């Protein structure tokens, strides 16, 4: 709907520009935005790609343009550490992404069922997303604390003798971080699903129930298929952030214990900014591969959403 | 959003059962089960925050003996007392956060309003192509972006500078420009045309007529900018390591991990009266308080910004 009016307006004003008027003031108006955007967004975008083909080490400034061809990529694809980190990233995505989808969809369906209190529900659901990420993750660290954290105090109350040290054990650290990540990001998908559900016409359900379809069948054959575009949009929005996750590792685990939360995002961050001679070039090449993989995933999701229609 | 359908028209569904009377109709209309399930969901969502809130009002004895009780048996302000007297860096971080957030908000509203107006209403060569490029560039993944940004900020001597961070975050403009352009497009052209006939200049039309009509879009841009910047961790963490320039959302981690012994060294009179975990809870809440407040006060604008943005993209 909006795009339609936009194009109408755009063609409407194009007629005007066919008269040879070229409003130079327009360039003045866009100049501040364009200059800022070029300098702090477009340049890093280009430079980041170039950097991936260099052996730039921050502590040696003269290596800034030391191009080394595909060496970084050869190295990273053969690196055991990168492979291990890739496995952790994939595991993490498999924990977080499906859970966000399911939890958001269920919450949205519930909210769509009620007539009162929807604005409170929507507000609450989005609250975690606006909190500063560091606050949210640190809050979960408090929750997971071995002795006086909410979770373990509760478990002890139930009679569990020695509840796990959630963030400190290899088996539990990654899921524990993942759960806090789910809590933080599920709000926006919920709102998107809610919009998607509201946009499905009531008539479809009425017709279906006249035909004797149960509520479950209605959900399976009407709601789910019609929410496919929304699902794709949600995936496109969350997959890059989850697969490239860095924040909780910086805030909570530093990749530990024993590398069990060492994701690609965290590994490349350490390579660039923490370890040794700060190999920005090599880190950029890892980052480039990560973003190409996510771009590929996004393209696949996009194609899936366009299928059969 | 479909507010009208959600809240405005409750009788539509229940027309047939009007005879059954009050409670039954209400239950049918509201789907009691859905409400019950939602209460559980909301409790889970709010639980960490509520627990933090209750912990922040517990003294040492209360916290260590009953860490999981959501209602403190007595209210103690010792954690807040400790926070405000002993943590010297907290006011510094807080001030920095406010400076950064206000600076970025001002830059974004200014740049996006001008550019949005130009893209919506002015005719100049390349206008549509430039706009399209901005929108498309938003979806290009930033491989190596953070590393390149680090090099750039270092080169410009803007690393460790709040001013540099204002410019950096101020440049996140595609969505603000998009929102502003959309707002200007929705103003009827006739209003501006009649002003033009009256001899107003381009600038006057923008400043006196168009801009006031786009106030709500500017509020949306401002709130999204403020909250987004306040909450950032990764970029600020990477660019700033000098304490005097740090924001609260990054500095909070330093404050919390500083440990009980060093913390109580400043306030020996509070030693033993509070639990460091409970003090941490108070500080976490304090550092998120501004965004929670804005979110509570401006929720209408938020929902508008979020949902409209989502639908339009």
Mean pLDDT on B112-126: 93
Find how far residue A3's CA is from the centre of its chain. 26
Q: Which of A33, A39, A123 to probe the B interface (max B CBs under 10 A)?
A: A33
Q: Does A158 touch chain B (CB under 8 A)?
A: no
Q: Which two tokens stand for residue A22?
A: 């070229």
Length of chain A counted residue by residue? 309
Q: Cβ atoms within 10 A of the Cβ of A222, count?
A: 17
Q: Does A66 touch chain B (CB under 8 A)?
A: no
- What is the average pLDDT score of chain B? 84
Q: Does A30 touch chain B (CB under 8 A)?
A: yes
Task: Write the CB contacts of B97 (distance below 8 Å, at least 6 apart in sequence).
Answer: B230, B247, B248, B249, B290
Compute the distance between CA of residue A298 and CA of residue A257 in angstroms, rounded to an integer: 31
How far B21 CA sits from the closest chain A CA (Å)? 18
* A281 in Cβ contact with A52 (< 8 Å): yes
Q: Does A132 touch chain B (CB under 8 A)?
A: yes
Place of tokens 């229940």: B14
Write down the pLDDT at residue B312.
53
Q: Which of A134, A231, A239 to probe the B interface (max B CBs under 10 A)?
A: A134
Compute the distance between CA of residue B156 and CA of residue B163 in angstroms, rounded to an integer: 11
How far A116 CA sits from the closest chain B CA (Å)? 7
Write down the pLDDT at residue A4.
43
Compute the distance between CA of residue A40 and CA of residue A46 in angstroms, rounded to an integer: 11
> In whole angstroms, how far apart are CA A49 and each of A53, B48, B90, B104?
7, 40, 38, 27
Q: Does A273 touch chain B (CB under 8 A)?
A: yes
Compute the distance between CA of residue B58 and CA of residue B66 in angstroms, rounded to an integer: 9
Facing A142 at nearest CB: one of B34, B237, B280:
B280
Asked if the structure places residue A298 within a domain, the reply is: yes
8 Å CB contact of B128 and A10: yes
Q: Which of B54, B62, B147, B192 to probe the A interface (max A CBs under 10 A)?
A: B147
**What are the pLDDT digits (tens) for B264-289?**
667 777 777 788 888 889 999 999 99
How far B41 CA sits from the closest chain A CA (Å)? 7
Contact list, B230 vs chain A (CB under 8 Å): 132
Question: Residue A190: is its pLDDT beyond 60?
Answer: yes
Contact list, B72 vs chain A (CB under 8 Å): none
Write down the pLDDT at residue B25.
61
8 Å CB contact of A272 and B275: no
Contact list, B142 vs chain A (CB under 8 Å): 44-45, 48, 287, 291
By C-alpha distance, the chain B residue nearest A194 is: B1
Q: Which of A29, A73, A118 to probe the B interface (max B CBs under 10 A)?
A: A29
Asked if the structure places residue A3 within a domain, the reply is: no
* A248 in Cβ contact with A211 (< 8 Å): no
Write down the pLDDT at residue B10.
39
Question: Residue A34: is its pLDDT beyond 80?
Answer: yes
Write down the pLDDT at residue A251.
94
Q: Which two tokens stand for residue A114?
A: 């009620």
CA nearest B233: which of A241, A237, A46, A56?
A: A241
**What are the pLDDT digits (tens) for A279-303?**
999 999 999 999 999 999 999 999 9
* Number of structural domains found in chain A: 1
- What is the average pLDDT score of chain A? 88
> In whole angstroms, how far apart are CA B219 and each of A132, B207, B302, B311?
20, 16, 9, 19
Mean pLDDT on B253-262: 71
Confidence of residue A19 (pLDDT cuts 50, 70, 90): very low
Write down the pLDDT at residue B257.
61
Mean pLDDT on B156-171: 94
By C-alpha distance, the chain B residue nearest A278 is: B147
> Domain holding A291: CATH number?
1.10.3720.10
8 Å CB contact of A45 and B140: yes
**What are the pLDDT digits (tens) for B91-111?**
999 999 999 999 999 999 999
Write down the pLDDT at residue B11.
39
Q: Which residues of chain B does CATH 1.10.3720.10 include?
A: 86-312
Confidence of residue B308 (pLDDT cuts 50, 70, 90): low
How far B89 CA sits from the closest chain A CA (Å)? 17
In CATH terms, the fold of domain B86-312 is: MetI-like fold (1.10.3720)
Choice among A24-33, A41-50, A108-117 with the minimum mean pLDDT? A108-117
Interface of A with B in 173-212 (CB under 8 A): 183, 188, 191-192, 195, 198-199
- With 0-12 CB in 10 A as exposed, 13-18 as middle and 19+ as buried, what is B4? exposed
- In sequence order, the β-bridge partners of residue A67 are A54
Question: Residue B71: is its pLDDT beyond 90?
Answer: no
Q: Does A216 touch chain B (CB under 8 A)?
A: no
8 Å CB contact of A130 and B130: no
Facing A121 at nearest CB: one of B42, B120, B299:
B42
Asked if the structure places residue A189 within a domain, the reply is: yes
* A174 in Cβ contact with A261 (< 8 Å): yes
8 Å CB contact of B312 and A2: yes
Write down the pLDDT at residue A222.
87
8 Å CB contact of A113 and B31: yes
8 Å CB contact of B114 and A32: yes
Q: Does A162 touch chain B (CB under 8 A)?
A: no
How far B268 CA sits from the closest chain A CA (Å)? 23
8 Å CB contact of B291 and A2: no
Q: How many percent of chain A have pLDDT more than 90?
A: 66
How far B112 CA sits from the closest chain A CA (Å)? 7
By C-alpha distance, the chain A residue nearest B277 is: A142
Choice among A32-36, A125-129, A253-257 with the minimum mean pLDDT? A253-257
Half-sphere exposure of B251 (CA within 13 A, CB side): 24
Place of tokens 């995936």: A235
Mean pLDDT on A209-213: 85
Domain housing A268: 76-306
Q: Does A290 touch chain B (CB under 8 A)?
A: yes
Compute the distance between CA of residue B26 and CA of residue B19 in angstroms, rounded to an integer: 12
Q: Does A228 touch chain B (CB under 8 A)?
A: no
Write down the pLDDT at residue B2.
37
Confidence of residue A14 (pLDDT cuts 50, 70, 90): very low
Residue A117's φ and ψ, nearest 5 degrees, are 80, 5
């Amino acid at each position: 709907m909006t795009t339609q009016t936009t194009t109408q307006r755009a063609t409407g004003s194009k007629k005007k520009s066919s008269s040879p008027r070229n409003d130079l003031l327009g360039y003045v108006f866009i100049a501040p935005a364009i200059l800022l955007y070029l300098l702090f967004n477009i340049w890093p975008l280009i430079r980041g790609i170039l950097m991936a083909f260099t052996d730039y080490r921050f502590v040696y400034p003269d290596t800034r343009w030391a191009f080394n061809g595909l060496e970084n990529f050869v190295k990273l694809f053969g690196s055991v550490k990168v492979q291990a980190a890739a496995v952790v990233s994939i595991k993490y995505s498999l924990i977080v992404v499906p859970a966000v989808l399911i939890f958001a969809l269920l919450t949205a369906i519930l909210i769509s069922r009620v007539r009162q209190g929807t604005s409170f529900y929507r507000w609450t659901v989005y609250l975690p997303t606006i909190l500063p990420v560091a606050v949210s993750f640190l809050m979960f660290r408090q929750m997971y604390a071995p002795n006086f954290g909410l979770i373990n105090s509760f478990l002890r109350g139930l009679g569990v003798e020695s509840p796990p040290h959630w963030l400190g054990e290899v088996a539990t650290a990654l899921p524990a971080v993942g759960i806090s990540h789910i809590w933080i990001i599920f709000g926006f998908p919920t709102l998107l699903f809610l919009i998607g559900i509201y946009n499905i016409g009531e008539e479809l359900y009425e017709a279906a129930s006249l035909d004797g379809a149960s509520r479950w069948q209605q959900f399976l054959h009407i709601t789910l298929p019609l929410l496919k575009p929304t699902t794709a949009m949600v995936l496109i929005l969350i997959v890059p952030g989850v697969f490239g996750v860095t924040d909780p590792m910086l805030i909570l685990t530093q990749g530990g214990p024993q590398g069990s939360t060492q994701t690609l995002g965290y590994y490349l961050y350490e390579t660039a900014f923490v370890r040794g001679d700060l190999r920005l070039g090599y880190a950029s090449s890892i980052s480039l591969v990560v973003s190409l993989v996510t771009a590929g995933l996004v393209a696949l999701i996009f194609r899936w959403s366009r299928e059969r229609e | 959003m479909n507010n009208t359908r959600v809240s405005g028209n409750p009788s539509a569904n229940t027309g047939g059962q009007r005879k059954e009377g009050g409670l039954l109709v209400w239950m049918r209309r509201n789907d009691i089960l859905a409400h019950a399930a939602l209460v559980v969901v909301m409790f889970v969502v709010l639980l960490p925050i509520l627990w933090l809130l209750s912990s922040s009002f517990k003294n040492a004895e209360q916290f260590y003996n009953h860490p999981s009780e959501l209602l403190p048996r007595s209210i103690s302000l010792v954690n807040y007392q400790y926070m405000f007297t002993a943590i010297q860096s907290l006011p510094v971080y807080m001030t920095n956060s406010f400076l950064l957030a206000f600076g970025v908000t001002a830059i974004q509203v200014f740049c996006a309003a001008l550019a949005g107006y130009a893209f919506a209403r002015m005719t100049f060569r390349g206008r549509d192509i430039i706009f399209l490029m901005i929108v498309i560039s938003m979806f290009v993944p930033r491989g190596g972006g953070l590393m390149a940004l680090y090099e750039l900020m270092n080169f410009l001597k803007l690393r460790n500078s709040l001013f540099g961070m204002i410019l950096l975050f101020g440049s996140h403009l595609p969505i603000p420009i998009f929102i502003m352009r959309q707002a200007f497009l929705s103003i009827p052209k006739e209003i501006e045309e009649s002003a033009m006939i009256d001899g107003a200049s381009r600038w006057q039309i923008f400043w006196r007529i168009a801009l006031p009509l786009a106030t709500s879009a500017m509020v949306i841009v401002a709130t999204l900018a403020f909250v987004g910047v306040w909450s950032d961790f990764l970029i600020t963490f990477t660019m700033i390591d000098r304490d005097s320039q740090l924001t609260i959302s990054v500095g909070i981690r330093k404050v919390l991990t500083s440990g009980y012994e060093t913390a109580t060294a400043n306030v020996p009179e509070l030693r033993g009266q509070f639990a460091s975990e409970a003090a941490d809870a108070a500080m976490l809440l304090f550092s998120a308080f501004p965004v929670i407040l804005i979110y509570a006060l401006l929720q209408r604008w938020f929902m508008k910004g979020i949902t409209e943005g989502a639908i339009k993209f």
